[in-house]
Amino acid sequence: MFKKLMIPVALWALTISAVVVADGLTCRTEQRTVVVDLNADGQPRYRVWNQPHPQSQKPDLQIVGGTHDFEGTGPCAHAVWSFEKGNTRYTVSGLGCTETTPPPGATGQLSVFVDDQFKQSWWCVSR
């Protein structure tokens, strides 16, 4: 009986992973909009528009070439993208399980590290 349950769970996890990779992630904070997706060459791309710039304008920051991974298991599994520019690393993650309670409408988190030291993070919220 245990083996029969493992196959559907594994297939479900693969299906969710494929959807997340194809869709990327949009992170909206009070000060910026971040879009993580794949460019035409299939490379991860990080684009940021600081408020009040609309997404129809050129992004304020764009980084092409980053990493995409998954962390957690089961209901805590979530996608994590990481991009570097100079000594700064930007990490955008989907909503997994956290030690703190996310605000209502949270969809993920944006974090910034400088010289591998955590500097600040913001919740991504749907608007």
pLDDT in tens, the chain (127 residues): 333 333 333 333 333 332 343 457 889 998 999 999 999 998 999 999 999 999 999 999 999 999 989 998 888 888 899 999 999 999 999 888 878 888 888 889 999 999 999 999 999 987 6
CB atoms within 10 A of CB 74: 8
* Euclidean distance between CA atoms 40 and 44, whole angstroms: 10
Q: Are 71 and 91 in contact (CB under 8 A)?
A: no
DSSP letter assigned to residue 42: S
User: What burial class does residue 106 get, using C-beta atoms within 10 Å of its C-beta: 0-12 exposed, 13-18 middle, 19+ buried?
Assistant: middle
Q: Residue 5 has what pLDDT? A: 37
